[in-house]
Structure formats: structure tokens, C-alpha cells
Amino acid sequence: MSPVRRLLLLVLVLGMSGTLVDLLLLSHYEDTAQLIPIGLLAAAILIAIVHGIRPTGLNVRALQGVMLSVLVAGVAGVGFHFNGAAGFQLEIDPSQTWWEVAKKVVRAQSPPVLAPGAMLQLGLIGLVYTFRHPVIGKDRAFEEVNI
């Protein structure tokens, strides 16, 4: 494995671990939807560690799958956070326009609307790491891509 690929895997595992610890310290497990990023990050960390110890085509594909799920969870998380903060703002003053609510939501500290963006970054790092991974050989889906 190349040094750059090793560093990407290290950055990925450290980033996922830090985000997981952050979610746990913030008690981000009050309802079922809040458990999704915790479960995904825990699974992704486990798969990445197993892959780092013994890389196989199967765990590269598993890592790709969980990274796609992390991306989806990041987008959904931004939506959940936005809706939660918007609902709170509308409870305070139901006469606000959508634009007024949106401006307040983006600046809100709780829930932080863009915090799930970390999941997007981690998912992308994981997908970059697995792109054309040498363990799975040349993937036909990328034969015409020239990088």
C-alpha cells in the first residue's frame, strides 16, 4: 500500500473516531435517528481497522458501501438539524418568513446545522481512499477515467 493511501486511511480512522467520540460526549443518542451516525461510524471504524490489518477486496467493497452510507447520513443529518432548528424558531415566532427562519437556523448553535457535514467529508475521504484500490485490481467502471 502506498504511503499516501496509508495516510488517507489514518486520517479517515482518526476523523471517524473523533466524530464518534464527539457524538457520544454530546449524548447524540436520545432517539433512533440519532443512533444512525453512531452506528455507521462504529461500523466504518471497525471495517477500516480490519482492512488496515488485512486488506482484501471484500473489505474494500464493505468500506465503500459504508462510506456511501456515511455520505447519505451526512446529507440527512443536515436536513434533520435544519428541520429541528427551524421548528424551534417557528415555535418562538410562527409569523416569521421562511427566509428569516433560514437565517436564524444557519446561525443556531443547537442543533448545529452544518455539523453533519463532517460525515460528508469523512465519506468522501473514504471513497477517495478506496478509489482504484490495488487489492481489487483495475475496476472496469473506471477504465475510461484518466487522472
* pLDDT at position 138: 56
pLDDT in tens, 68-97: 999 999 999 999 999 999 999 999 999 999
Tell the burial category of 135 from Cβ atoms under 10 Å away from its Cβ (0-12, 13-18, 19+): middle
State residue 41's pLDDT score. 97
Predicted structure pTM score: 0.84
For 113-132, the pLDDT digits (tens) are 888 999 999 999 999 999 98
Segments making up each domain of the chain, as ranges: 3-133
| Alpha helices per DSSP H over 54-109 | 57-92, 98-107
